[in-house]
A and B are shown apart, each in its own frame.
Chain A
Amino acid sequence: MVKHAKPNLSVNIGSLVLRNPVMVASGTFGYAEEFKGLLDLKKLGAIVTKTITIKPRHGNISPRTCETPAGMLNSIGLENPGIDSFIKNKLPFLKKLGIPIIVSIAAEDDPGEFYILVGQLDKINEVCAIELNISCPNMQKNKLISQDAGETSALVSAVRKLTKKCLITKLSPNVTSISDIALAAQEAGSDAVALINTLSGMSIDVYKRASKIGSWVGGLSGPAIRPIAVKMVWEAYNKIKIPIIGMGGIMDIENALEFFFAGSTAISVGTANFINPRASLEIISGLEKYMADNGILNLSNITGKLKACED
């Protein structure tokens, strides 16, 4: 058997260099310290923090989660301690890990809040990238920024002027054409797009005749949404040039490969973190093995490398 060279798992997302392409998705990994003892955090490609707002947020009323077939709904409502407390109390642990830290941020009322948040994070060396969460479905808003190409473009270009750090725009699947929004983010200067955020959903307890979620509706995640996410990555890949960070129900290496073939440069593990905290590390070793077994030296040789369906 031919012994192949060790595959290279590193990828570039704008100015950001990742040792491997497996990250953990915002909102499913807290600020990493929650996972202490459950996995070797230093092996992750990158950590995306729970979304931070300027002021602390208490979040939505209970119940906030419910299980659905092969998935779950959540309506946490961006509970977070606010940027100042994040920098003081959460960031020190993340800094010590020595792996890329991506901070997810959101505005509560006014897009201008993004400018303040970016201004503060821009000064912190260990923050390698900023993820603009313009797609959280649990803010009781009629319309999200990422549901409008014009608004997405305006926000990204304004933020672009404020920082040289890698900018990632996280997109909502609750749109008519996600590739149009992805293109708008690219044209406005985003270094990458992350997709997909959760799908709006609802589940009803028929015995109580009530929604299972306190704030009525939530965001659906988990394996149930994977085919939708894969299709959206593929659609965006065919329209944009910037890297795509693909996510949506990735549980194992096979699921991850789907996203690479569909056009992802990197992937994020989300809901799986709740069930198998080691899922992301298992995917990293699975990817190494897949590449070695197939003589693939670089991830660029699998991203978007999809064949037509043979009968």
Chain B
Amino acid sequence: MDTPEESRDLCRKAGYTFTFLSDSNLDAIRRYDLVHAGQGTGGRDIARPAEFLIDSSGIVRWRMLTENYWVRARPEQILEAAKTLP
């Protein structure tokens, strides 16, 4: 899990302007039950890839827990899901 410093470098290089949070203690990852034990470098715990679309009242409206960790949600899938937001 990247630290805020590592994420800062990544955001600068990639030009990301959205909120980029660091979960180096796997706090949110544990709360969302996404821990993939021992799969990180040096046998550390990391997250399985996942995407959640949450509406303004805090309810999950769409999610994708990939079945193959190479595969991620495509932007068009997320935009389609965003249309359902109130």
Chain B binds chain A: no
